Amino acid sequence: MKRALLQQPTLASKVASKVASKVASKVASKVASKVTSKVTRTGIQVLAVAGIMGSTVGVTPALAADCPAVTGADNAGISVGQFPNQYERAEFEAAAGCTLAFTANPDIEALNAQIQGNGPLPDLADRLPSEPLVIVPYESIGKYGGTFDALSNATEAGTSDFLSIRHVNLVRYSDDLQTIVPNVAKGWEWNDDFTELTFFLRAGHKWSDGAPFTAEDVKFWYDNLALDSKVIEKPKDYVLVAGEPMTVDVIDPQTVRFNLPAPKPGLVAHFATSFAQGFQPKHFLGQFHPDINPDADKLAADAGFENGLAVIKAYFGNSDWTDTPSPLLNSPDKVDNLPAAVVPTLESHIYVSDTTEGRHLVANPYFFMVDTQGNQLPYISEQDEVYINDAQVRLLKLVNGEVDYKAQSLQLSDVPILLENQEKSDYTIHIRPKIAMHVFSFNVTSDDLEKRKVFGDLRFRKAMSVAINRDDLNEAAYFGQGVPSQYIGFSPAPDFVDPKWKTYATEYDPDAANAALDEIGMADVDGDGFRELPNGDKLVLNMQFATQGIAGQVVELVGQYWSEVGIQTTVKEVTPDEYRSAQSSNQLDVGMWEKSQPLGIVLGNNELWVPPFENYFAHRVGMLWAEYVESNGASGVEPPAYVDQLIADINAFQSSPAGTPDSDALGANLVKNMTENLLFIGTALTPDPIYHRNALKNFVEFKTASYEYYRTYPYLGPQWYFDE
Amino acid sequence: MGRFIQFALVRAVMSLFTLLTVSLIVFSLMELVPGNCAERYLAFKNTQGSQITIADIEAEERRLGLDRPFMVRWATWVGNVFVHQDFGDSCILRLDINQLLSDKFWISLGICLAALFVSYLIAIPVGIYSATTKSAVTNNSLRFISYLGLALPNFLLALIIMLFSTVMFGDSLTGLFSKEYRDAAWSLDKFLDFLSRAWLPIFILGWSATAFALQTVRALMLDEVGKLYVTAASARGISGRRLLWGYPARHAMGPVINSLGFDLNRIFNELPVVALILTLTEAGALLIESLARSNDQQLAGAIIFLLTASIVIVNFVTDMMLALMDPRIRKGLIGS
């Protein structure tokens, strides 16, 4: 993944010189030479060149022709750009030898009229940036119109699937899930030691109300929202580096720099995967922020709000979540006094209604993307979201074809009924691998010292792993769709992972399990057919699970496999809250929850490798080790040496550029220590269904069914269209 | 008259006391469940990909005021409800509860009252007929249908109808409004659209309510028809409908009117499950959400408070009705 980002010097200078020569033939040789020298000096970043080239080469060639309909299916003889599925305008026009003529959705005036607070529209040329992002549609140039129907669970639950379709951020992961590509930013650049990250924005880029989007909006988001305790009480982890805040410098309206207190190469990956957008409209929210506008409180009072911060709360929800209630829902009686019903956005669609039943959106008339023939995206005019919280009703609506796309909340067990009705209701189900798999763990710091001794014994954990008949489990619980695997932390496995770990101790070997348990001294003393603890105490593994984290069938089968080697188990379903509360108070014998993270997340977040090995809502083990680490040894239980090694390795891993031999060695060591110690016992990597109606075109099959790359964001929702 | 006012006042004070007690019970029960609203809210957010720490939960608790002792929270809430008629904010939805419930509670109450009305509209004549008919076939089939109504769970009936409609008409019959009216302001068209959807929950809730009411009316009638005053009236030559409606039915109606508040409560109790299945976005569904999923004490408290208030009002009205209808009570209270 990081390879795209961290071009080797040879490649960088090659591209740079190519670009430089093109640029030189036009204008701005000063800029070009500056950029070239910078790129050559740092030897890292080529993206910025493409961007700056865009700003200097937006000039009509003498023999302009209509641009060819370049698509993913037919490249019309045009060479692929620097990044897959997209070009910068100048890059495209140079490659295709044409000038883009821009066209807008014919209904855009009517759509704009629905956006409360938007005035009449200027010409399209004045709405698009002078350097729009040119998207290569997957199959064909689309048609304008239609309403996209989506399901969520509630205003702020189960929405990320739908949010991701219109989402934009500074950068994006391409559909290969390895290459980070420009999005709102046209390029970025790191300094040598990864402590300065500069983003280059698009000249002429506008918010959905027509106001210019500039570097000030990035700084405003960081200084006045993310770090302002009056807005967000405690800064989120992702805006900090090693717990310390960064600073943001506005270099010029199109250039903004993050200064990091410590190296964090994963910061770019954060912007590519996170729901948190690194910008908010200063011209709009700033007028209500007392630090920006001295009259903010008065302005707010005129609109009927307590103070300026209350208005910001109404618009921004005091978090980077983009699904918090808008003033349409949270202040219906005051919304008419406000300058706009919802905060201006850079996304492809904007809210025009927001109730407890659902939300409705229309296309953003100022959206910054065009297709290869100059048609402004998005193609789809409107989006409609309805809240359905019941799984069966959700399924019914999908089977009826009432929804255009859905992946979140669908499970493997839904697949048979979904497949059965594919033709009747004219939709398609893709079955794609998930990131996380169902994983078991033993409480290695159990309060019961005898249990702690046994669970802490690697021979015991290995016996429990080989006692699981994963092929049988796969057939019975996963419809044969899974791949029996061990838990290695990363998913999908990066190249640096030694393949042997993926299947380490996954062979079904009840004899070996029995032998190991005998060796530990767990004999059946009382003759009830089950083994006791070495000290003779009875052992019954209490397997409490919540269906939110793992399927009941899997738990029951695994409990049965363990019983077969003489470990008595009881299975009980509890609510997620009960599970979490038992986990927090160190009451669980067996942890059971989904687990794994992709490399892109691990680069920015070390929680998977530091006791308790994940956050409050996920699968934790070694609670007393965690206490020891957090208290610097003052309380808790001292973890074994391999845990210290994991902590050291992950911190080094995050500070070294990914893809380098150093980083790969650290990654390989992380996987080795995590896997061979079997703190977590894997089952099988399984897939989940992804639903889309066949009328939805330019829909590419996703690489994974997962949240981690922000759902549909890598797959270019703005270029989806309907062909009914 | 003075005694009537005293009677009404005592009833009103008892109603207030009931309201207070109910809200305290709701708050206390919800306090026992692991995981408060801050945690539930962030749990939703966690599924949205947000990394959340214990510190985040604590910050959220402070923001929501959940760090205060729960008696303080309850007392503040009750105080605001009685003094300012302000239910506060829903912690999970982050919305003003008064605004949130303004339409929804009336919709729920409307559906329940409609179901109640329909059930007695059917149950009273049919119950009386069933109690007095001599035809065993009619009687038994009426009883069979009404037992079916009692035995068949509402949610199952709802699912059967939805499945049937999905297969036959390709419409799952869910929701309260069509898409085009969902966000519109109330108008005659929106009301008609609402009725075109609301008949289903009214029918489903009315179905079991009818069955129950039918059994009640039938049993009361059977009690009454054998009594001496009926025989006496009959001996005076009164017969047919005049006899039935004028004598035993009149007496049988007393307990029926008395139990209207109870019936309303029973129907409302069934509403959340039906509402969830039919994805009705009204107070019943919100109640389940706030109780089971989000532990939103203020929202659940508000809905139950409003429901209790409705029942109390219905009881108050039926008490008054009975007092006025029954000459014995009327005379006792007002004097002739």
Task: Determine the Cα–Cα distance for residues A19 and A17; give it in Å rounded to an integer.
Answer: 5
Residues A2, A65, single domain; the answer is yes
- In angstroms, the first-to-last Cα distance of chain A is 37
One-character DSSP codes across A413-428? GGHHHHHHTTTTTTEE
| Minimum mean pLDDT range among A31-45, A281-295, A675-689, B182-196 | A31-45
Same domain, residue pair A399 and A383 = yes
Residue A126 CB partners (closer than 8 Å, separation 6+): none
Q: SS3 of A532, please?
A: strand
As a whole number, mean pLDDT of residues A524-539 equals 93
For residue A237, give the DSSP letter: G
pLDDT at A64: 42
One-character DSSP codes across B8-38:
HHHHHHHHHHHHHHHHHHHHHHHHHSSS-HH
- CA angle (A263, A269, A273) in 5-degree steps: 145
The tens digit of pLDDT for each residue in A598-628 reads: 988 888 788 899 999 998 888 999 999 999 9
Region A98-107: mean pLDDT is 94
How much of chain A exceeds pLDDT 70, in percent? 91
Predicted confidence (pLDDT) at residue A483 exceeds the cutoff of 60: yes
> Do A499 and A641 fall into the same domain?
yes
Q: Are strands B89-90 and A180-182 parallel, antiparallel or unpaired?
A: unpaired
Confidence bin at A39 (pLDDT 50/70/90): very low
DSSP class per residue in B252-287 = HHHHHHHTHHHHHHHHHHHHHHHHHHTT--SHHHHH
What are the residues facing B335 on neighbouring strands? none
Q: Which residue has the higher pLDDT, A5 or A569?
A: A569
Nearest to B46 among A233, A390, A617 (CB): A617
The answer to whether the CB atoms of A233 and B62 lie below 8 A apart is: yes
Q: How does DSSP classify residue A50?
A: H
Handedness of CA A553, A555, A559, A561 (dihedral sign): positive
Instruction: From residue B89, give the alpha-carbon distance in Å to each of A48, B80, B96, B237, B302.
Output: 47, 11, 4, 65, 10
What pLDDT does B162 receive? 84
pLDDT in tens, B87-97: 888 887 888 88
- At residue A27, the pLDDT reads 38
| A10 lies in the same domain as A51 | yes
Mutate to test the interface with B, among A152, A238, A404, A577 (most CBs of B within 10 A): A577
Residue A396 to residue B34, Cβ atoms within 8 A: no
Q: Domain spans of chain B?
A: 2-95, 97-293
Contact A156 B44 (CB under 8 A): yes
> Across residues A468-492, what is the average pLDDT?
95
Q: How many residues does chain B have?
A: 336
> What integer pLDDT is reported at residue A311 of this predicted model?
96
CATH number at residue A428: 3.40.190.10
**Which pLDDT band holds residue B335 (cuts at 50, 70, 90)?**
low
Quote the mean pLDDT of chain A. 89
More confident residue, A470 or B251: A470
Question: Is the ipTM value over 0.85, yes or no?
Answer: no
b/e string for A567-576 if b means 16 or more Cβ within 10 A? bbbebeeebb
Which of B56, B33, B40, B65 lies closest to A153, judged by CA?
B40
Number of domains observed in the structure of chain A: 3
Residue A344 pLDDT level (bands cut at 50, 70, 90) = very high
Q: What is the DSSP letter of A704?
A: -
Judged by CB atoms closer than 8 Å, whether chains meet at A156 and B183 is answered as no
Rounded to an integer, the average pLDDT of A405-412 is 91
Considering the domain boundaries, does residue A635 fall inside one?
A: yes
Q: What is the pLDDT of residue A241?
A: 87
Asked whether residue A22 carries a pLDDT value surpassing 50, the answer given is no
DSSP-based three-state secondary structure for A568: strand
What is the pLDDT at residue A265?
A: 86
- A285/A289 Cα distance (integer angstroms): 7
How confident is residue A16, by pLDDT bands cut at 50, 70 and 90? very low
Mean of pLDDT over chain B: 84
Left, alpha or beta for A401 (phi > 0: left; psi -120 to 50: alpha)? left
Report the distance separating Cα B142 and Cα B131, nearest Å: 10
Q: Which residues of chain A have a CB within 8 Å of the CB of B173? A: none
pLDDT value, residue A388: 86
Instruction: State whether A618 and A505 are in the same domain.
Output: yes
Lowest mean pLDDT among A137-146, A182-191, A492-501, B70-79: B70-79
Q: What percent of chain B has pLDDT over 90?
A: 7
User: Would you say residue A2 has pLDDT above 50?
Assistant: no
Distance from CA of A601 to the nearest CA of B (A): 11
Helix (H, G, I), strand (E, B) or coil at A359: strand
Query: Is pLDDT at A43 greater than 60 in this prediction?
Result: no
What pLDDT shows up at residue B30?
79
| DSSP 8-state code for residue A103 | B
Write out pLDDT tens, residues A280-311: 999 999 999 999 999 999 999 999 999 999 99
Nearest by Cα to A270 from B56, B49, B41, B53: B49
Q: Is residue A639 part of a domain?
A: yes
Q: Return the H-helix or E-strand segment holding A112.
A: helix A108-113
Q: What is the distance between the terminal CA atoms of chain B, rounded to a whole angstrom?
A: 10
User: What's the rounded Cα separation, in Å, for the pair B90 and B296?
Assistant: 7
The residue-averaged pLDDT of A573-585 equals 86
Tell me whether residue A578 is in a domain. Answer: no
Partners of residue A317 in chain B, C-beta under 8 Å: 94
The percentage of chain A sitting over the pLDDT mark of 90, rounded to a whole number, equals 74
Which H, E and C letters describe A391-403, residue by residue?
Answer: HHHHHHHHHCCCC
A433 to chain B, closest Cα gap in Å: 18
Q: Do A325 and B94 touch (CB under 8 A)?
A: yes
Q: What is the mean pLDDT of residues A690-697?
A: 97
Q: Considering only alpha carbons, which residue of chain B is nearest residue A409?
A: B47
User: Both tokens of residue A265?
Assistant: 């190469």
pLDDT in the model for residue B1: 63
Residue B55 amino acid letter: A
- What CATH number corresponds to the domain at position A461? 3.10.105.10
Lowest mean pLDDT among A25-34, A560-569, B173-182: A25-34
A716 with A648, same domain? no
- Checking if the pLDDT of A318 tops 60, the result is yes
Task: Report the distance separating Cα A579 and Cα A595, nearest Å.
Answer: 15
Supply φ then ψ for residue A157, to 5 degrees. -130, 135
Considering only the top CATH level, what class is B97-293? Answer: mainly alpha
Max avg pLDDT among A384-398, A507-521, B137-151, B241-255: A507-521
A623: closest CA among A637, A609, A605?
A637
Q: What is the mean pLDDT of residues B293-307?
A: 85
B76-115 confidence digits (pLDDT tens): 888 888 888 888 888 878 888 888 888 889 999 999 999 9
User: Which chain A residues are closer than 8 Å to B93 by Cβ?
Assistant: 154-156, 325, 356
Summarize pLDDT for B4-42 with one digit per residue, the tens. Answer: 778 778 878 888 888 888 888 888 887 887 778 888 888
Give the pLDDT score at B50. Answer: 67
Residues 6+ apart with CB under 8 A from B91: B37, B38, B41, B64, B66, B294, B296, B297, B298, B299
> Based on the domain organization, do A715 and A604 belong to the same domain?
no
Model confidence band, residue A671 (pLDDT cutoffs 50, 70, 90): very high
Mutation target among A230, A615, A706, A713 for the B interface, most CBs of B within 10 A: A615
Residue A376 in this model has a pLDDT that exceeds 60: yes
Residue with tokens 């160190």: A586
- Residue A442 belongs to what domain range? 437-517+542-550+587-685
Q: Is the peptide bond before A245 cis (omega within 30 degrees of 0)?
A: no
What is residue A723's DSSP assignment?
Answer: -
